[in-house]
Amino acid sequence: MNSVILAADGVNVAQNVGFGIIAAVMIFAALAVVTTKNVVHAALWLAMVLAGMAAQYILAAAEFVAVSQVMVYIGAVMVLFLFGIMLTRAQIGSETGLNNKSWAVGIPVAVVLFGLLAYVVLDAVEDSTIAEVELTGANNEATLEIADRVLSPYLAPFFGMTFVLLAAAIGAIVLARKD
């Protein structure tokens, strides 16, 4: 999101152009998710949005977050989505009745959410610009910092999260076992 401010200052032009192109593709794909007439197509457009997100992280030199995005969302969540869809309803060609009846209510909610997020981000960043990032790869400070933070001050929430995952895994087993 910092790149939005960078665009205004004319810093780091190549990155801004990349950001703009990827953002445009992501917005198009996001609209296609909700307008397409086929469930599998919607899932694939969603994969495109998530891949675009990973590309944005790479542009911001947050390679660890980008790789996590690919691993979790494209490698796991999307495959699970497609797997689920294909095991249940996955007809080829357009379907009817995909729209939720109260879809119109979603638009103001989305607008409010967007406004809220935009306000929070702009408020937090204000006029500061991020420094030109050194894309050397090896010993990327950002990655080291994430590792340090996760394993020292944020260790307790990190452990807490693992229990959530454990609970989910046990829940899945309980649901799957019929006997």
Q: 93 or 108: whose CB is closer to other proteins? A: 93
Q: Does the CA dihedral 103-105-109-114 come out positive or negative? A: positive
Contact 56, 87 (CB under 8 A): no
Q: Residue numbers of the site for other proteins (CB under 8 A)? A: 38, 40-41, 44, 47, 63-64, 67-68, 70-71, 74-76, 78-79, 82-83, 86-87, 90, 92-93, 136-140, 143-144
Closest contact distance (angstroms) between CB of 86 and other proteins is 5
Please, which residue, 105 or 135, has the CB nearer to other proteins? Answer: 135
Smallest separation, CB 167 to other proteins (Å):
19
Q: Supply the minimum distance, in Å, between the C-beta of residue 66 and other proteins.
A: 9
Name the token pair of 64.
């660890």
Cα–Cα distance measured from residue 62 to residue 145, given in angstroms and rounded to the nearest whole number: 11
Phi and psi angles of residue 94, each rounded to the nearest 5 degrees, phi first: -80, 150
Q: What are phi and psi of 17, to 5 degrees?
A: -60, -45
In the complex with other proteins, which residue's Cβ is closer, 44 or 125?
A: 44
Beta-carbon contacts of 1 under 8 Å, excluding residues fewer than 6 positions away, are: 121, 125
Pick between residue 137 and residue 157 the one whose CB is nearest to other proteins.
137
Closest contact distance (angstroms) between CB of 23 and other proteins is 21
